[in-house]
Amino acid sequence: MKIKTVEQYVDLYRKSVQDPEGFWGEIASEFQWKKKWDRILEYDWKKPEFKWFGGGELNITENCLDRHLDEKGDQAAIIWEPNNPGEEERILSYRELYREVSRFANALKRQGVQKGDRVCIYLPMIPELAISVLACARIGAIHSVVFAGFSSKSLATRIDDATCKVVLTADGGYRGKKTIGLKAIVDQALEISETGSVEKVIVYNRTNQDVVMLEGRDIWWKDAIAGVEDQCQAETMEAEDPLFILYTSGSTGKPKGIIHTTGGYMIYTTYSFLNVFQYDPGDIYWCTADIGWITGHSYIVYGPLLAGATTIMFEGVPTYPDAGRFWQIVEKYKVNQFYTAPTAIRALMKFPIELVEAYDLSSLKVIGTVGEPINEEAWVWYKKNIGNGVVPIVDTWWQTETGGILITTIPEVLHDHPTFAGKPLPGIQPMLFDESAKEIDGFPASGRLAIKFPWPSMARGIWGNLERYKETYFSFGDRYFTGDGALRNERDYYRITGRVDDVIIVSGHNLGTAPIEDVINTHPLVVESAIVGYPHEVKGNALYAFVILRGDVDNPEALYKEINGKIAQDIGPISKCDKIQFVPGLPKTRSGKIMRRILRKIASGETSDFGDISTLLNPEIVEEIIRTRL
Ligand code: PRX
């Protein structure tokens, strides 16, 4: 499954295009199936519908756990590093993880969870989060992990959308110096939940906080597993049975519950993990993401465990107790593959270099980034200081919807190059297209990025909204549209230039502008608002809100805080705006559409080149907004 030379890459790539079914069939044969598939691929772009390994039956956790017990039973599966370096780490061998997962799977069953039920997981980065995910998969329940930084409202929306039956949470969590209450947020969420679908809440005690336990609904984790067996027969799943739902922001409306299914996701996460990180048996792999995002699903839990790897889970933040924490952990466990976000690198490079130099990073063989474009300066710093000038960087491009890494370099096979993510993995057929949806051939080329052939881990739908799935991703012909713009150079390398829709990537988090504007607009003093992104040194992009008020405001600073407080409460702190400018109007077309292109330029500090604004309904407003720009 592992590509070692460029010749192999070229050969495999060709094979994957000429005979995709043969290519994927061979890879799929390396897994444990309860029943082999009948058809490798059936698809219809128009419907749209994609079926991989139809007729095949399996359980993904047998492939993550049972399959490794003979050879790797005593090998560390998960190494958990706590927030506080003074607290002891927890190491779970494959055998221990197998038992914990089985035990909790039985506990879920005892609470009435059945195959197909949705389970919401709102947990901090503790081993129980990975155990919960796998326990759901063991019994065929569909997990919906919600990042534990989301507010009660956001949590309620997600619980309601998927009509979850059970919520798994903790009393609280530690992040740096802070102790966060999670159970209280769940309580609020369930109070405002409109469906009332949640029957049980299982609560892990992580921080010893006082929490309210509702009789009949809330159960402590330790009671839930008391007297439960640590062997659990894995449910038989069809390859296309949903494995999980994970919410991601769209440019409009409520978050999209992206659906991933079992067989194809399993194969693609393993295949991409092994190739992109060139993982060798015995290596220690660390991805710093949170399991609340797709990166954590695919490359902390599923990919590494499917590949029989040792995967590190880190509870804390990069700057606690100081900004050398990442490097201290790399030294402590002799990490071989390190995978993080550009925003973390940009934040850490601002600190004295002694915080890096204090640690031995010589174990590193591959260092990676994900989530947003990595700017050249950060790339060069990463390579020089973390990679000792020689360790290959993988700048991996992918999305919640793609399930796994699609465009990247491969260490020692395809060379890294700053600002270019790289080439498609074999099996992935990217294309660029222009405004009339026509494919752009050759190079240099610049256009919208799409994938023109199905791949096993592609999203199969949006929970409860097939129409939106179709509209968002399949409106430009027989291809999957990514929402990103990209360039292609003479080496056939792709450079991702950013979103072409109203999604803004802030610190690697995908934020849709419309839901944040909706929150701002509910403030009694606000008439209308428009949010755009502008370049930010650490975050990559930050949010700039232009807000029209009813009348004058006495204390703009207080209003700024109030609006951001409301955003934090209703959505979560990551969606707060760095700048809020109060304006008398917004530039609009004659049909009433806000000209975001102009606002983006203003927010980025440009003073000219606004194009033809004479056709605007209110061209004079542009000057006025520039004059009072923040
Ligand atoms: O714009 C691209 C950006 O992140 C988006 C996907 O966000 P999300 O679904 O949250 O998944 C993030 C983790 C996979 C993409 O549409 N993006 C992701 N990776 C890169 C990137 N932009 C540039 N370079 C990357 N390596």
- H/E run at residue 524: none
β-partners of residue 499 are 484
Summarize the confidence of residues 522-548 as an average pLDDT.
Answer: 94
Q: 217 is written with which tokens?
A: 């609904």
Q: 33 is written with which tokens?
A: 């199936």
Q: Is 371 in the pocket of ligand 1 (CB under 6 A)?
A: yes
Summarize the confidence of residues 599-618 as an average pLDDT.
Answer: 86
Query: HSE on the CB side for 487, CA within 13 Å?
Result: 9
How is residue 402 annotated by DSSP? G
pLDDT tens profile 160-190? 999 999 999 999 999 999 999 999 999 999 9
Rounded to the nearest angstrom, the distance between the alpha carbon of 248 and the centre of ligand 1 is: 11
Q: Which among 150, 276, 370 is the best mutation to test ligand 1's pocket, defined by most ligand atoms within 8 Å of the CB? A: 370
Rounded to the nearest angstrom, the distance between the alpha carbon of 438 and the centre of ligand 1 is: 24
Q: Which among 294, 372, 376, 407 is the best mutation to test ligand 1's pocket, defined by most ligand atoms within 8 Å of the CB? A: 372
Q: 108 is written with which tokens?
A: 């879920």
Reply yes or no on whether the pLDDT at 613 is more than 90. no
Kindly report the protein residue whose alpha carbon is nearest to atom 14 of ligand 1. Answer: 399
Rounded to the nearest angstrom, the distance between the alpha carbon of 619 and the centre of ligand 1 is: 35
Q: Residue 89: what pLDDT?
A: 98
Longest dimension (CA), the chain: 74
pLDDT tens profile 229-267? 999 999 999 999 999 999 998 777 789 999 999 999 999
Q: Which among 398, 402, 473, 511 is the best mutation to test ligand 1's pocket, defined by most ligand atoms within 8 Å of the CB? A: 398
Burial grade of 538 (CB within 10 A; 0-12, 13-18, 19 or more):
middle
pLDDT tens profile 43-75? 999 999 999 999 999 999 999 999 999 999 999
Strands 200-204 and 76-81, sheet pairing: unpaired
Mean pLDDT estimate for the chain:
96
Task: Give the count of beta carbons closer than 10 Å to the beta carbon of residue 550.
Answer: 10
441 — pLDDT class (breaks 50, 70, 90): very high
Rounded to the nearest angstrom, the distance between the alpha carbon of 437 and the centre of ligand 1 is: 22
Kindly report the protein residue whose alpha carbon is nearest to atom 26 of ligand 1. Answer: 397
Q: 612 is written with which tokens?
A: 């033809």
> Cβ neighbours of residue 512 under 8 Å, at least 6 residues apart?
249, 250, 251, 252, 255, 502, 503
614 — pLDDT class (breaks 50, 70, 90): confident
Q: 457 is written with which tokens?
A: 């881990």
Q: What are the strands of the beta sheet with 218-220, ordered from one edge?
A: 218-220, 200-204, 166-170, 118-122, 142-145, 242-248, 256-261, 461-462
How is residue 552 annotated by DSSP? -
Query: HSE on the CB side for 488, CA within 13 Å?
Result: 18
pLDDT tens profile 334-391? 999 999 999 999 999 999 999 999 999 999 999 999 999 999 999 999 999 999 999 9
Distance CA 271, CA 138 (A): 21
Q: Which among 339, 481, 496, 509 is the best mutation to test ligand 1's pocket, defined by most ligand atoms within 8 Å of the CB? A: 496
Q: 626 is written with which tokens?
A: 């520039």
Query: Whole-prediction pTM value?
Result: 0.93
Rounded to the nearest angstrom, the distance between the alpha carbon of 106 and the centre of ligand 1 is: 36
Q: Where are the alpha helices (DSSP H) in 111-220?
A: 127-139, 152-161, 183-192
pLDDT tens profile 257-298? 999 999 999 999 999 999 999 999 999 999 999 999 999 999
Q: Residue 608: what pLDDT?
A: 79
Q: Is the dihedral of CA 44, 45, 46, 49 positive or negative?
A: positive
Kindly report the protein residue whose alpha carbon is nearest to atom 8 of ligand 1. Answer: 399
591 — pLDDT class (breaks 50, 70, 90): confident
pLDDT tens profile 474-521? 999 999 999 999 999 999 999 999 888 888 999 989 898 888 998 999
